[in-house]
């Protein structure tokens, strides 16, 4: 199991012993294979509000840790918080993981999407309820803008459920567009964005 540091008070991490098959990838000609690249740091946001959200976050973390070329270095606490988006949906549980990876951002996004699919995520309305959602928040201090991937995640600076767990595990994580650290962005949030979070672990 490649979870290096579990964070404070997370006995559930040491209990993770699941192994999941990972898909083999083919590399287009002219691109370096993941094993030839230098590892970089990225941050992944996790969220769920259907089924058993805490269990699903734990399973998603185990699957992420089992993915080829991905190490989970640190995991934040789990935070219960009200939904942002269409009304009438259950509260979310959110967390953030720090990973070290040799995957490109597109490959890492593919791993995240594969995990969502393997865990039975059903496509519903945008910002609607979900079994599991994995977002790439930050990748190696890079700025990326493509049809399928925008990094940093374009909404992260507005969201307590992203910035509070991110600042918990990586206060100095750098937002390359806003030129601020996670702790600075968290401090700029309206108080209600922090006050509505209930830390579970």
Residue 133 CA: distances (Å) to CA of 5, 40, 47, 90, 94: 22, 22, 5, 14, 9
- Binding of ligand A4P at residue 127 (CB under 6 A)? yes
The yes or no reply on residue 84 touching ligand A4P (CB under 6 A) is yes
> For Mg ion, how many residues bind (rule: CB under 5 A)?
2
Among 1, 141, 22, 156, CA closest to 94: 156
Shortest separation between residue 59's beta carbon and ligand A4P, angstroms: 16
Backbone region of residue 169 per phi and psi (left: phi > 0; alpha: psi in -120 to 50; beta: other values): alpha
By CB under 6 A, is residue 133 in contact with ligand A4P? yes
Question: Considering only residues 94, 101, 104, 201, which one is a binding residue for ligand A4P as defined by CB under 6 A?
Answer: 94
Name the one range near Mg ion by CB under 5 A: 17-25, 67-75, 101-109, 131-139: 131-139
Residue 160 DSSP SS3: helix
DSSP bridge partners of 99:
42, 72
116 touches Mg ion (CB under 5 A):
no
Using CA atoms, how far residue 131 sits from 120, 134, 162, in Å, is 7, 10, 18
Contact flag: residue 133 with Mg ion (CB under 5 A): yes
Q: Of these partners, ligand A4P, Mg ion, none, which one is at the site of residue 38 (CB under 5 to 8 Å by kind)? A: none
Interacting positions 135-194 with Mg ion (CB under 5 A): 135
Strand partners, 71: 100
Strands 133-139 and 40-48, by their bridges, are antiparallel
Is 10 an annotated catalytic residue?
A: yes
Burial category of 35 from C-beta neighbours within 10 Å (exposed 0-12, middle 13-18, buried 19 and up): exposed
The widest CA-to-CA distance across the chain, in whole angstroms, is: 50
Member of 92, 95, 108, 167 binding ligand A4P (CB under 6 A): 92
**Residue (1 or 141) nearer to ligand A4P, CB:** 141
Contacting ligand A4P within 28-67 (CB under 6 A): 47
Find the binding residues for ligand A4P in span 158-197 (CB under 6 A): 161
Nearer to ligand A4P, 13 or 157 (CB): 157
CB of 199 to ligand A4P, least distance (A): 14
Binding-site ranges for Mg ion (CB under 5 A): 133, 135
């Amino acid at each position: 199991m490649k979870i290096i540091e579990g964070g404070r008070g997370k006995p559930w991490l040491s209990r993770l012993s699941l192994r999941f098959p990972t898909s083999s990838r083919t590399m287009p000609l002219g691109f370096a294979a993941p094993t030839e690249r230098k590892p970089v740091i990225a941050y992944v946001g996790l969220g769920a509000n259907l089924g058993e959200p805490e269990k699903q976050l734990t399973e998603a973390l185990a699957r992420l840790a089992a993915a080829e070329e991905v190490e989970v270095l640190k995991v934040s606490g789990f935070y219960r918080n009200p939904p942002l988006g269409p009304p009438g949906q259950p509260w979310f549980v959110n967390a953030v993981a720090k990973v070290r990876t040799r995957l490109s951002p597109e490959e890492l996004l593919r791993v995240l999407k594969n995990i969502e699919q393997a865990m039975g995520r059903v496509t519903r309305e945008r910002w609607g309820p979900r079994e599991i959602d994995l977002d790439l928040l930050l990748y190696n201090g890079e700025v990326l803008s493509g049809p399928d991937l925008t990094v940093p995640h374009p909404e992260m600076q507005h969201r307590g459920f992203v910035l509070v767990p991110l600042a918990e595990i990586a206060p100095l994580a750098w937002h390359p567009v806003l030129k601020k650290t996670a702790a600075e962005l968290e401090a700029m949030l309206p108080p209600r964005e922090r006050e509505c979070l209930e830390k579970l672990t």
